[in-house]
Chain A
């Protein structure tokens, strides 16, 4: 049956959903409504190759307009400001009405913003989309001392790029290690050492009390009364799901849009995918919200299948990466519940990996190495994790033994 399918949100989850629907349904109308006047583009390069001028805007698009047109996918740049789930309608700011049979919400996430008690909020910059990346790139060009508030992936990637642009970079992190929310301390310390070797200053365990501006220079007052002087301030302190549009509706929200393993929300014919979801993961038997490239892509594909009537559970084992300087960090699985850690390697030139086990079963791993060095073993770990494998610890810890052996034993 020919349907009107609307995808609200023109990011990665949205475009992968659209193409998946088209693969399974050649008839229905598929329309993506995007807030940015840009075709869906890759965000990972924004903090890295885009800032470094190794990639330009045209290199970022997932697919050309020809590919999207050939698949008969309609893309419209519009700001939706009201939804009526009961009558299956969306309303734009200009009062255009969009009627759907099936709706996918893939609105992504927004920057958490620093709360400053003076009027300097607009002086702190954030990087989530292309526009923000362009502004930062332009503004830092004539600045020297840059301070980044937040030692997570995005902050450290920006710190790495700006260091390579010969900027004097300071990173201020509230926690007692970098990337503390998700990365084991051993790996965080190796990353920290690299930043310091490259000339970046890393300040841990400090909170921002106040930012003041004097003669065009910012003074960041920390909670130990120290002061950081800087020419430019960037913050990367996390994100919140983009759900403002749905706050006064009956769509179930709880740290994002609540979905089941089929990307279905609490409202019939309304699906959600990507960063915006707090989704049920059947492998972990709990809900979670993830912000990563792999998740946006695979969750979008899964939603697309379900919208097209191909009932599919979302079972991807989480995987994410960060590139800083010449290092590639990868994480797979959920590594917050373990009773044993096994180390593999001790030199980042050959890759260092920590595996997390519980009751001898592998639960995930985090690795760091020069580009590509840990990818294969991390990928194998994902495969072992999804099969609840009891692993041979001797093989895990010996870099001379290939982990492929563990898969072949399955």
Chain B
């Protein structure tokens, strides 16, 4: 893992617990979440239809799409509830000096 692949997202206090922020990098959109046990990141667009997940509901370890209510596990990306059936890609996250970084491959 080369250091330069870690991209700074923002400060840890920019996300409330059980919430998310959208992060755009180059031509891609990501969602970065703060759950009770830490920070996580996934692709920012639902795998069912091209809708931003930034307006979705975070509950426990799950993100629910705001358009059609497909549900994904935030930690594994697994599609848990129809109409979503394709998993969401997840990304490694680290916190350094109160700053959040995600590793984009």
Q: Give residues in A with beta carbon < 8 Å to B.
A: 16, 42, 62-63, 293-294, 297, 301, 319, 321, 328, 371-376, 379-380, 402, 404, 407-408
Contact = CB atoms under 8 A, between A and B. Distances in A.
B55 A373 contact: yes
Contact of A371 (B56, B57, B67, B82): B67
Which residue among B19, B54, B58, B66 has the maximum number of chain A CB atoms within 10 Å of its CB?
Answer: B66
A321 B68 CA distance: 8
B56 A375 contact: yes
Given A321-B68, A404-B19, A375 B55 contact: yes
Interface size bucket, B side? Answer: 10 to 19
Interface of B: 18-19, 51-52, 54-59, 64-69, 82-83, 85
Contacts, number: 51
Given A297-B83, A404-B19, A376 B57 contact: yes
Contacts of A16: 82
A408 B69 CA distance: 20
B interface, over-half SS? loop
Contacts of B55: 372-373, 375-376
A371 B65 CA distance: 11
**Which 8 A-B pairs have CB atoms at the shortest separation, nearest pair first?**
A375-B66, A372-B55, A372-B66, A376-B57, A379-B57, A376-B66, A376-B55, A372-B51
Contacts of A404: 18-19, 57-58
B65 A375 contact: yes
Contact of B66 (A293, A379, A408): A379
Nearest to A403: B57
A293 B85 contact: no
A389 to B, nearest CB: 15
A293 B65 CA distance: 15
B65 to A, nearest CB: 7
Given A379-B57, A404-B18, A404-B19, A372 B82 contact: no
Nearest to B58: A404
Contacts of B52: 371-372
A381 B95 CA distance: 34
